Amino acid sequence: MTNNQNRKESVFVALARKTIAAYIIDRKIIPPPNPISEEMKEKAGVFVSLHRGHALRGCIGTFVPTMPNIAVEIIKNAIQASTRDPRFNPLTSDELDDLEISVDVLSAPEPVSSLQELDAKRYGVIVKIGERRGLLLPDLEGVNTPEQQIEICRRKGGIEGREPVELFRFEVKRYH
């Protein structure tokens, strides 16, 4: 029995895990659950984060919904996080047993006008200028201030430190 079978996972994480295994092992895209649970019928942006030994192994998501419901959003982003995160090689079947997965369901982004409206533990941040943008999820290890969040978002979006940006915040429900 693997570590992941020993602990109770949310239905969101269980769907992401099943999706990743089916895609990595058989190159199959699974359908959403049928019937679909009430909590998965909503539309929302979703991030799927993968870790092995507490080290990031993939993270891909959408900050606004792009699919008909959360279930399909999880399926799409789980495949992307496991195979198309440009920072990492695609996952292999050997990595599946000790894969730690979290699924973040995002609230709609709302504009903010000052750092005082941000909180690195409670809110994720989006910085935007024109078509360039960077996003950072909330409550990440080692990121303790809104200033750190914004600096990381700027780097991710290729935005210079002096360029004026629009700021947005969002909350997440994180599932393990």
Query: 110-175: which CATH topology?
Result: Dna Ligase; domain 1 (3.30.1490)
Considering the chain, tell me which residue range(s) the CATH 3.30.700.20 domain(s) occupy.
3-106
Determine whether 79 is exposed, middle or buried from the number of CB atoms within 10 Å of its CB (0-12, 13-18, 19+). buried
Q: In whole angstroms, how large is the CA radius of gyration of the chain? A: 17
**Domain 3-106 sits in CATH 3.30.700.20:** yes
Considering the chain, tell me which residue range(s) the CATH 3.30.1490.150 domain(s) occupy.
110-175
pLDDT tens column, 2-14:
444 456 899 999 9
pLDDT tens column, 123-172:
999 999 999 999 999 999 999 999 999 999 999 999 988 889 999 999 99
Q: Which of 125, 119, 116, 120 is nearest to 167 (CA)?
A: 125
In which residue are the tokens 């992401």 written?
16
Q: Which of 38, 34, 80, 33 is nearest to 58 (CA)?
A: 80
